[in-house]
Every structure is written in C-alpha cells, then in structure tokens.
Structure 1
Amino acid sequence: MAWDIQTLFRRYAGELTGSLRRGGMSDDMASDITQDAFLRMMTAKPGGEAHNPRAYLYRIARNLVIDHERRGRTVTIQHIGDQALHQIADPAPGAETIIYDRQRIRIVIRTLAELPERTQLAFRLHRLDGLSNAEIGQRIGLSTTQTWILIRDAYRHIRDRLRDV
C-alpha cells in the first residue's frame, strides 16, 4: 500500500507545522521541518506504520527536531549583518553567466551584420558612441525621426533574434 502524499500533505501539513510552532520553533524552522518530514515520508516505504500515516509523520518530525537540536548544541551559528554579507558575496559573474553572455554577444554581432549598412552605423553611433539621434542624423544625412526609426528597427531585429534562441 502506497501513501497518497498530496492528500496527506493537505490534511496534516498545517497541523504538523502548528504543533511544531507550539513546541517553540520559529515559523521558518517549523515549515522546514514539516517539508523535510513529508520528503522523508515520500521516500520511505510504508511498513507497519501504513495503517496510521499521521502517527508516522509525527514520529519523523519528532526525530528531525531531535536532530536539529543536537546539531544546535554542537555547531555554533553566528549571525552576521547585511553589511558583512555583502562584503562576502562575490560580485563577479559565474561561469554560466559568462558563457551565456558571450553567446548572446555573438548573436548580436551576427544580427547586426544582417542589417543594412546605414542602420548598422546608426545603431553603433547610438549604442557604442552614445550620440543623440540628432547628432547621428547629421552625420548620416537623415532627419532625427528617420534616424530614430533606423535605431528602433535595429533594436527590434536584435530583440527578435535573441528571442529565437
């Protein structure tokens, strides 16, 4: 006989969490232990406890509380402030982020090459050189509105290509 974990969770999760809170646990810790208890129950094979899954769930939770208290006695936890936490965090991007960003840059470069030369120039002057639409228009011989349309079309084209990947 297998347990229906969803039904058991709906029926007993709130009750178990409330019981743990009344026992002196914080809301977060009570929720964590409740989740862990259901996870353990999910991975366990119903044995003699199959006739009373509620009692088995409470026994798992009690054992988890004992483990938690035992760990609390042997491990000292020091709470640090937000300031110290920000000093610990590494602001450098991770390897996955670097690879992802490089792939997207390659796509943007290929996408820009697909555009007409005037549109490429307008986009580069806007994005890389930081020129205004009026300044770009003067350089390439277009009105401010026409320049804005070229730049907008370039952005749309790039956005569409990035979305396709």
Structure 2
Amino acid sequence: MNWDLNRLFRLHAREITGALRLRGASRDLAEDLMQDAFLRVLSAPPRRAEGRDNPRGYLFRIARNLLIDRVRREGRLPVIGLDLTDLGQLPDTAPDPEAALYQQERLDRIAAALAEMPERTRHAFALHRLQGATMAEVAAEMGISTSRAWGLIHEAYRHLRACLHEG
C-alpha cells in the first residue's frame, strides 16, 4: 500500500468527522472514530485490492463501520431489574483456570512490551489508549504536532502487536 496517510488525513479527516456527525455521533465521538479509522488503516492496511484504489471511500467505510459497531455495542446492554432470589440462577461467568492463565500471560507480555518502549512512545500510548485522550489532546499534552502524536501511538501499537505475536 502506497498511501500517504498524512495527506489523506489532512484532506479527509474533517469530511469523515462531518459524515459521522450527520449519522448522529457527537463531535467528540466522531473525532475519536475518525482517528480510530486512520489508526486501523495504519496498523492493518487493506489486504485485498478493494480498498487500495479508493482510499477515501475505504476510510469512510471503516469510520461508518466503527460507528455502527459502537451503536450496536451500546444497544446490547439492556438494563434488567433482578431481585435477590434470581441471583442464584445466574451462570458463573468466571473464566476457567486455563483461560485465566492465558490472559495473565498476555498481560505479562503486554507489561513487558510497554516497559521496552521509549518513554515518549509509552506516554503517548497511555494518554490515548488508557486515558482516552484524542490525538489533539495527546499532542497538546506532550507539546508535539498531531501527526507526531499519531506516529508515536502507531509505533506503540506496532510494538505491542509484534510482542504479542511472537513467542
């Protein structure tokens, strides 16, 4: 893939955000989903030819799908009132010991991968992923450009993915 994502971001970020707003997303949610769409393309470019000829359309589709996923996820959590007699009938959701061990091993590998990162990269990742800061907020906090913040976060994701897939 030979896309210039910085150029695509400058050309289409506002347009994608506006389209998400027209679909009912708040300003903050639209901006976050737009950034997530670019991060998704950056971390996992299209494998089939369908997205390579029309990067704008591909980005719009990813952003729209992210919004649909978000709406579905929020709609799946109905609130149900239970009285105390119903609690005994609920299934045990605790993971089996093997699954718990696997998840603990993954968490240990993630912690080790985070410790290997340069401080600036780890800080940018923590602001964005753990504290929910937008790219603009990360950039402002760190005193860097938005594109540099985006690059640091992408670097962190790439490192984490590589560490989780090895071993």
TM range (shorter): 0.3 to 0.5
TM-score (norm 1): 0.45
Higher relative contact order (CA 8 A, sep 6+): 2
